[in-house]
Chains A and B, each alone.
Chain A
Amino acid sequence: MIGQRAERGRGALGEQFGTFEQQHQSEELGMWIFLGTEIMLFGGLFTAYTVYRTVYPDGFAEGSRHLDVLYGSVNTAVLILSSLTMSLAVRAAQFGRQRALTWYLLGTALLGVLFLAVKGLEYQKHFAEGMVPGLVWQYVGPLANQVELFLFAYFVMTGLHGLHLGIGVLAVLLFAARARRGGFPAERHAPVEMLGLYWHFVDVVWLFLLPLLYLFGLSS
């Protein structure tokens, strides 16, 4: 039963494992497989985007021009910096430095929240301009339908990404709270590593969203 496992102490070896090494390797493989599923999850959206961009290049370029590259670029920088703080957090966990770990995790969460705040401002701008498909759509023009498809893609892709980032921020905060209580000694640093993998993955997704959504149609 679950209770028996807790009795053996936090961070203890699961009874299905023979060694801590085996447990760590299993968790690592499990997390990478999970990230593989996430690639396929976002992948469906990337496929839809690719299809419509191929058949409606002008409409999509026009749609892209209604996004503000400044917001996109700032957010990219914010996420890259958060990957930096997360890497340093993982390092701190590996060496058992709980206080450094806590601070780096808080920094990561802060940057994540900053990203979401900037995204919120962006969404608000689109709303004010009447360019939110399904909610308020006031755009008129020769390619209006295709622009609406583009904006739909934009909201769904950044929305799903934002959801993943939000979950990541919550997880980081929970980990920070636990780190503050000394919950990640060096021999039990693996969960922080796994969290780091997730965080970096969410960063990589954004690194693809930026060129696909923001950098298309800028030169025309």
Chain B
Amino acid sequence: MFERPLDVSAAWCRQFLTESSRWATALSDWFGEPGRAREARGLKLLKEWLSPEQLAQYEANGYFDVTGCDSGKRYRIRHGTGTNIYEMDNAGQTRAGWCFVPDESLVAADVVLAQKIALETNERGALAVANHFVLK
């Protein structure tokens, strides 16, 4: 007498799993794949605009150094979307943290490229809007 409800229940479970899987795939396509494509586009652009030295440093370490156009100071920009700029001293130690970002939501590679160009072409302007952050 319980065989029929069990059949129905198994069929319902199968349908539920099939539907769930379809939804999971759709959500992954919607959120995951375009996200990866955006990040890949940003990364390609960043690599095109880095100098050969910066590119080698970035690929090896996930950061690269830039020279501020006004002060000649060296800054280290780590891959990220914020609190990722470090002012370096002559001994190669971090001495201050700076944070400025584009006012639009961008992928990390675009943020990093915007920061690089700002420090290399308008260091004073970039630091004028930047916030400090505490180094750990």
Q: Do they bind each other?
A: no
Binding site for A on B (CB under 8 A): none
Binding site for B on A (CB under 8 A): none
